[in-house]
Structure 1
Amino acid sequence: MTTIPAAAFGPEAKSVDVPVLDSYLHHIEQGTGSPIVFLHGSPTSSYLYRHVFKLLEGRGRLLAPDLIGFGDSGRPDIAYELADHERYLDAWFEALDLRDVTLVLQDYGAAFGISWAARHPERVRAVLLAEPVIRDIESSALPEAFVGAQKLIRTPGDGEKFVVEDNGFLTQVLPGAFLQPLAAEDLAVYLAPFPTPESRGHLIRFPRNLPIDGVPASSVQFLARGEEWLKTSADVPKTLLTYEPGFLLTPTIEAWIRENVANIEVHAGGAAVHFVQEEEPQKLADAVVELLARAQEAGR
């Protein structure tokens, strides 16, 4: 069932299903030229980037995939751990033979995009980070309500009831992460792929894998694999956008990025919580244009 309307991205946008491994990844595509890949996180889809696509028309080959098990991508019988998402996304990059790639990364999209960049440095042109999952997060900097929801979700049995049976993550946590309420018709697009408890079983994996106060250690280790590339890739221009009030980009993580990530520029992205593509699409698009100009000036 198709849930994501390609027309929302622009009149020239199209839906594409790419066979990968034992399933397929769906993406929205528009334009030609050097690829700009937009990666989403939990619990959304490529639909997050529809406004940004319209603002970047003519700037390159715009591609926004749905992670495996999300949006209109396939639902193989896998564990949906971070390494699983990495495998399917790797296969998508390979199937399309994407090179000279600018990565626009939010939430878990940053975890997977940086992992891919670190393992394919010769294929990366530039990187933009917005509300990224990139480091271990200190709970003291997170909203108390979210920390409470995380404890509930990580409790065996209670977490399954909240996320899978009662659909609380999609109907309570997601809508609560906006300064202004998300339009009902847009929320409906995010809810559409997950109408039943059976369809929501894997949604619990992303919140349970979010690294908070060092737990789970496997997620901290997954993210640490990209640190060396972030520190040494001085030839790759990078941008970090900060938001007010923001959410996952805590002061500690922002400080680490400023001090450690090579060739990074930090700019204010505007007023948003976490799903910044919905709340500040113009400033995100402007930051992409500026980043592309930096890459061109650097001869990339």
Structure 2
Amino acid sequence: VLWNRMEDFSTFLVGETGTGKGTAAAAIGRSGFIPFEEKDNCFVESFTSNFIEINLSQFPESLIESELFGHRKGAFTGAVENHRGIFARCSPHGSIFLDEIGDVSIPIQIKLLKVLEERSFSAVGGHDKLHFNGRIVTATNKSLKDLNQERTFREDFYYRLCSNVIRVPTLRQQLYEDSSSLEALLTHTIQSIAGQPVPELLETVLVTLEQEVGPDYHWPGNVRELEQAVRSILLTMHYRPGAGDAAHLTEALYHAIEQDKLSARELVSSYCRILYEKYGTFEKVARITKLDPRTVKKHCSASPSNKNLESDRAG
């Protein structure tokens, strides 16, 4: 990642949610424009720059253009003063990270393509051509195949982004290629939490993960889930994958009931599953529901409502 500095004006990061695309983007941004000494394997001088990150999916369509390019006073209702967008605020040696680029509309793609190709833009309501001399890093959790097939991208914009692609691997891919990388990731995570290396905590986390998820766990939440697992273990000495899903399951169950999607048996199974996600033991769920623990386990492990719940959540 650190070698991806100024060889190209833009870099496109592709990877699942939680794989660390933001971390990779920051590494690329902070390494840009800095002389790198191969012999000493270090950067030879410090620099002052800025790294601006924006998640495009968090802004309504009406605000994205103004947030990116800025606007002039009077450009639209509510524009009571001039506003500098992130392209204007970014320093010449800085970087802009556009996350969730796969969600932007065609009109925004056209304006971004102009920045990518001409390194220029105009504020909303403005006529002056402004120049951008930093670099752009974009990211999406969608596959390139999906982006191409969905045809939600202009073809020229799609191929311009794809000129310099970094595929950020999933955690399961990293562990498949090198199982020892788990220990390195855990060491880094613990150090970021504790502020310094703590070998005894590493051993505790490794043992707990071995006991509670096993060596073949596929980490669907990727590095983000691993970080949450470490925090959970350090606080409670336990980690139950999916424990944070209880609220989502409760909401999904409510909608499924409203739409008459569940039978009585499915309703009981779903309720048991929600309680298990919340409390973590079949015995606790059995006490609440007044069911036999073996019955609770059967409901949780083979819930016929799972499919209905998941389809309801997806809808």
Give TM class, smaller chain: under 0.3
Q: Decide which structure has the larger Cα Rg and report it.
A: 2
TM-score, normalization by structure 1 = 0.26
Name whichever structure is richer in strand by fraction.
1
Name whichever structure is richer in helix by fraction.
2
Higher relative contact order (CA 8 A, sep 6+): 1
